[in-house]
């Protein structure tokens, strides 16, 4: 079996290869010095912080109008529940009825939007005030227990 050896250009022996490659490098560099290798430090990229951060409207950064405070106080007195209970996630009958009446009255008497009502109640979206408004309106039209 014969060993397969690579063919070398111009009958150059394996011992002459380093000097051959050195002469090729010199021709390519046109007499310039070979640049020294530089170490590159790779720094992990930190994601930039968003420029715009949405402001969630809460009772802390959006004060209630005088009229909406009056409505809240009237509902608290009428239903005998606390303001904190109305704003809580509790689903007891009395608290839900008070919350639904609050949604209806804030919408009708103060012309607040559903997201604004949700912010007053401490909710993230408008669906709970929307549902509460519709339920209270149905009870009003049916003439049922308010």
CA gap 59, 116 in Å, rounded: 10
Domain coordinates in residue numbering, the chain:
66-141
* Greatest alpha-carbon span in the chain: 109
Is pLDDT above 70 for 78?
yes
Q: Is 43 helix (H, G, I), strand (E, B) or coil?
A: coil
Closest by alpha carbon to 87, among 79, 106, 96, 78?
96
Confidence tier at 61 by pLDDT (50, 70, 90):
very low
Of the options 3.10.20.30, 1.10.3720.10, 3.40.50.2300, 1.10.1750.10, the CATH number for the domain spanning 66-141: 1.10.1750.10
What pTM was computed for the model?
0.56
| 8 A C-beta contact, residue 106 and residue 68 | yes
116 vs 30 pLDDT, higher one:
116
């Amino acid at each position: 079996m014969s060993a397969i050896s690579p063919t070398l250009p111009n009958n150059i022996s394996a011992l002459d290869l380093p000097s051959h490659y050195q002469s090729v490098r010199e021709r390519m560099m046109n007499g310039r010095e070979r640049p020294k290798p530089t170490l590159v430090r790779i720094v992990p990229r930190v994601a930039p912080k968003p420029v715009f951060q949405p402001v969630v409207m809460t009772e802390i950064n959006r004060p209630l109008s005088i009229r909406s405070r009056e409505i809240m106080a009237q509902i608290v007195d009428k239903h005998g529940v606390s303001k904190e209970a109305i704003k809580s996630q509790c689903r007891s009958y009395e608290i839900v009825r008070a919350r639904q009446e609050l949604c209806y009255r804030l919408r009708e008497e103060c012309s607040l939007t559903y997201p604004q009502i949700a912010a007053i109640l401490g909710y993230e979206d408008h669906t709970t005030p929307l549902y509460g408004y519709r339920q209270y309106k149905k009870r009003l039209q049916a003439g049922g227990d308010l």
